[in-house]
Structure 1
Amino acid sequence: MHADLLAALDRPGRDAPPRLSDYDDERASFSLEVPERFNPVLAIVETWAAESPDDPAVLTLDGAGDVVALQSIAELAQASREAARAFLAAGVTKGDHVFIMLPRVPEWYAAMLGAMRIGAVPMPGPNLLTAKDISDRIDRAEAVAAVTDVAGAAKVDAAWGGLTARFCVGAGNHAPEGWTDFGAACAAAGDGETPQDPTHRDDPLLLYFTSGTVSAPKMVQHTQAYGLGHVVTARFWHDLRPGDLHWTVTDTGWAKAAWGGLFGQLHELACIVQVALGKPDADTIFGVLARHGVTSFCAPPTLYRTLVQGDFGKHDLSKLRHCTSAGEPLNPEVIRAWKDGTGGLTVYDGYGQTETCCVVANYRSMEVRPGSMGRPVPGWDMTVVDDDGQPVETGEVGNVVVRHEPVRPVGLFPGYHGDERATEGVFRGPFYYTGDKAALDEDGYFWFEGRGDDVITSSAYRIGPFEVESAVLAHPAVMECAVVGRDDPERTQLVVAICILAPGHEGTPELAKDIQDFVKQQSAPYKYPREVHFVDELPKTVSGKIRRVELRGWLADERLPRGGA
């Protein structure tokens, strides 16, 4: 039955008009109104379930792309009710933090939505967390319950023994000691009533931990309104509508899962795809896209760089309609290669943070300028200012900020949980300071420069790593690249490129010299990398961002083989 439902979906084709048809008009007129009493599970999931209960809502695939489950929206709503009742029976109540660390399985949705339904606060964790990471999170957030699988249960037990409730997914009758099988608990609780009016729009909804590229992860507390905030992410950036199958490649433990797999997509009546991928490769990704007719695809830049090395011609990607990327800016050369390989599809960059929804993006209805972050998302007032909060000149690099006064955008976090000092550090005057650097052109397009501590100063020049990375990536031998600065007594810093090579290329001094000469032709000569290194892997956060702070440590410790002078 479910397979028939999926096959019968009226999926929008490539000729479907964009959801955002006139950017300027939408910017001028768009607004989101969140009712004072609001809960996104009740307002979005239950509303859709009441209107069209058989509509497909979540398609779960295994690592080979085979169907594990296809849940209708009515089944998703029921799973949330059963999980909510299981939590209540275990003593979890409104305001309690619930640690959830699960792979891409249907139970992740049941646990997340069930907790939110009663006003409890899920704190999703990436599956790669260690016992030490888990101990830090549970301790700092004062979590009372955990939901994980058998492997995760061992980590939680090694980390913390004082939880009120511990649920294990997939254990059946063999749950570890002290743990309750999650499926059995939900079945025992059964379907039925849950609190009818559980939350105010300003009550906590989610607790995320930032990636922690520089310091220990901060706790990002979102309110119930955040669930509605991602309407702009799904409607304007993902360009979704009823009948779409949307796949965001993400671990369930970081904020991209909320961006691409929770309320925004459900609000727009699109079916969410989640795939239990191992280490992703081009054939597997293309196979899933083709076999299941995915229409909307979102992946981090690191994955797109891998995909453009694959064989597009082996797969029928004709159902694929819209492609997006976020995490770090996508280099123009990768955008060009993707367009050529897919028969004309553009990758639309989007920008935002764990602390926000999608706030700057490229859209189908306006010109895409390769390398640009795009223009502000309707509902978000974004600009670039200096350290004193004053506007900078066109083309001048400054701080990317969100205006939160006098009108606070729906989906902006209220602050860091338990860290008033950190909150005061980013909310200054009428602005929230993102910590990123960019420039604005004369048409209001944002051009990313880097994190505040990533910008390189060399011989009095300020050099953004992204522009150098884009030039290096245009070289046919380079698959992935990170650019950082190395301290130098004469030039302040040297530009250093650390590269992963495309298959069939060997890291030699001659190749390093060729890359350097190539970059000199692609950009101003002062930007070329004075050093080129070749590695097999780049250090990344769980959200796919390159850990440049770690690369700078490698350079300081002389842990990189040098390929060029």
Structure 2
Amino acid sequence: MVQDHYAERYAAHRWKIPNPFNIAEACCRRWADAPERIAILAEDAEGNRASYSYIELSHAANRLSNALRARGIQVGDRVAVVMPQRFESAVALMALFQLGAVAMPLSTLFGPEAMAYRLQDSGAVAALVDGRGVDTLAAVRADCPDLTTLVCVDCTAPDALDWATLLAAASDEFPCEATTPDDPAVLIYTSGTTGAPKGALVPHRAMLGNLSGFVASQNGFPQVDAVFWSPADWAWTGGLWDALLPTLFFGQPIVAYSGRFSPETAFSLMARYRVTHTFLFPTALKAMMKAFPSPRTQFDLHLRAIMSAGEAVGDAVFDWCQQALGVTVNEMFGQTEINYIVGNSATEWPARPGSMGRAYPGHRVAVIDEAGEVLPAGEEGEVAVHREDIHGDPDPVFFLGYWKNPEATARKYTGPWCRTGDLAVQDADGYLWYKGRADDVFKAAGYRIGPGEVENCLVKHPAVLNAAVVPKPDAERGAVVKAYVVLAEGFDASPALVDALQQHVRGQLAPYEYPKEIEFIDALPMTTTGKVQRRVLRLREIERAGG
């Protein structure tokens, strides 16, 4: 039986934010004095393996910082990092942080339209890319006039610089920029309900704001022999803030695997590297459960903690983790703008299956109404986080705002409360129970989908007059992307057209964004002001799925 230490842990927590503060200093440089301290355990899809110490990580980052500064990269410049999990990705991030530049991680899955929009909107002046994303980036570079520097890792592109050549010619000593906690560190684009994706500008202090939740959800991380691995892409909030950076902050090794996820690969990696702590999406856990009902009979596992986020874990997976893996999964809830704010900790307070958990220490979380008033236990409202903790100290987890979008930033707040857009009920013990989105953003297989970007892409096809994108309930993935399409004059519905529209979206956006199902409709339900009523279509899909 787990003892409930929540009240004392929550009451005792106090934020200590040093000034200056730089993520590279906290996550790399301060550990670069012990040759035996390993930072990255790298493996690719072909099975090639390498081990890199914090000293090697620091020296490589210093060389890259010197090379970028020599090419005019300044404090505050946005620089794209388009790479999968690999040593060079970590090097790039540390180099940019200590340079005072703003790292902009971009998924290698992005198509040309998604890639170009983010590069153009951010005004990125440089990009660091490997073979996974070089073709897409090279294809849109001419449309990104601010992008003057392109550095290629193990690949080539016209008018690009070679990573290895650059680093070989640079010094391995570099003075870290004395950034303040509020200086920007990362720009990550997150889809909105309508229109274009928004760039969330995240400061250096957010690193510290994540830690209380990370430590709790990982059952007391770190331990002396802790090894972390997660299949979450480091270009996403989950991979960056929930895996890579907090692991490095505590000076522990993280496994960087650049191949595709599969249940067998996941278990093999965890056994081979004696992984003790992990972050696994519910969809990944479901696939692992079905492929290996009794994994410990086949794999030598050393797991002590599993954090899961992105959607509800569900009773079946929760029970399987306890029985088959010997670990109680800790569900977590957060956003790019305010990450790691709510969750469970199996060693600190009892988990309640199906609950999002409680506010992590240092975060003042409540369920509020439209006016920003805190609702009593049992009433449904929107999950929100107060700018100050219970002691009146500023919560460091907050983002700075949306890039070049002060109106959207203002809409995120009601007084001191930052709204998440997620609906929940809080019980008398502080546990939150998720009820759904307050807007039209949804998650499919753990990925956050903004319908506006997909709809915009569909409408660019000559056959599409209008489109609305909604989630269709799916037992395996929680939801899949479905598009309702109104055809332009002169086009007729057909299986061939469905396939053409799907391929059109897949070619422009990330693969997980393309509509798995398309239904042609004569007219979309609209409000009197001309807005698409996606809620009507969502309810239709729920009814078709049997409620």
The Cα offsets for residues 343-383 of structure 1, whole Å up to 9 and x where unpaired, read as x3111101101112210011022111000011111111101
1:335 counterpart residue number: 318
Contact 1:265 1:271 in 2 (8 A): yes
1:277 counterpart residue number: 259
Contact 2:343 2:359 in 1 (8 A): yes
1:351 counterpart residue number: 333
> Is 2:397 the partner of 1:445?
no
1:129 and 1:53, CA in 2 relative to 1: closer, same or farther beyond 3 A?
Answer: same
Deviation at 1:454, TM superposition (A): 6.2
1:47 counterpart residue number: 30
Deviation at 1:553, TM superposition (A): 10
Contact 2:207 2:241 in 1 (8 A): no
Deviates more, 1:373-382 or 1:308-317: 308-317
1:158 counterpart residue number: 139
1:554 and 1:394, CA in 2 relative to 1: closer, same or farther beyond 3 A?
Answer: closer
* SS of structure 2 residue aligned to 1:127: coil
> Is 2:261 the partner of 1:245?
no
Query: In the alignment, which of 184, 204, 226 is matched to residue 204 of structure 1?
Result: 184
Deviation at 1:283, TM superposition (A): 1.5
Calculate percent identity across the aligned residue pairs: 30
Paired AA for residue 15 in structure 2: L
Deviation at 1:395, TM superposition (A): 1.2
Paired AA for residue 98 in structure 2: R
Unaligned residue ranges in structure 2 (runs of 5+) = 449-470, 478-504, 520-533
Contact 1:250 1:543 in 2 (8 A): no
Contact 2:342 2:357 in 1 (8 A): yes
CA distance in 1, matches of 2:345, 2:333: 12
Contact 2:27 2:251 in 1 (8 A): no
* SS of structure 2 residue aligned to 1:137: helix
> Is 2:39 the partner of 1:86?
no
Deviation at 1:291, TM superposition (A): 1.9
Paired AA for residue 393 in structure 2: V
Deviation at 1:158, TM superposition (A): 2.0
Contact 2:334 2:341 in 1 (8 A): yes
The Cα offsets for residues 168-226 of structure 1, whole Å up to 9 and x where unpaired, read as 1112xxx222001112111111312x234431221110000114465421100011112
Query: In the alignment, which of 464, 468, 474 is matched to residue 498 of structure 1?
Result: 474
2:10 counterpart residue number: 27
1:100 and 1:23, CA in 2 relative to 1: closer, same or farther beyond 3 A?
Answer: same
Paired AA for residue 446 in structure 1: L
Question: Superposed, which structure 2 residues align to 1:208-219 within 5 Å?
Answer: 208-212=188-192, 214-219=194-199
Contact 2:472 2:538 in 1 (8 A): no
Deviation at 1:123, TM superposition (A): 0.5
Deviation at 1:398, TM superposition (A): 0.4
- What is the root-mean-square deviation of aligned Cα atoms in Å? 3.6
> Is 2:202 the partner of 1:222?
yes
Contact 2:150 2:161 in 1 (8 A): yes
CA distance in 2, matches of 1:361, 1:334: 17
2:167 counterpart residue number: 186
CA distance in 1, matches of 2:242, 2:204: 17
Contact 1:80 1:113 in 2 (8 A): yes
CA distance in 1, matches of 2:13, 2:248: 20
2:216 counterpart residue number: 236
Paired AA for residue 36 in structure 2: D
Unaligned residue ranges in structure 1 (runs of 5+) = 1-16, 456-464, 470-478, 483-494, 502-538
Contact 1:54 1:74 in 2 (8 A): no
Deviation at 1:497, TM superposition (A): 4.1
1:399 and 1:317, CA in 2 relative to 1: closer, same or farther beyond 3 A?
Answer: farther
Q: TM-score, normalised by structure 2?
A: 0.78
Question: Superposed, which structure 2 residues align to 1:56-95 within 5 Å?
Answer: 56-63=38-45, 66=47, 68-95=49-76
1:432 counterpart residue number: 418
* SS of structure 2 residue aligned to 1:356: coil
CA distance in 2, matches of 1:275, 1:67: 10
> Is 2:78 the partner of 1:97?
yes
Q: TM-score, normalised by structure 1?
A: 0.76
Contact 1:37 1:197 in 2 (8 A): no
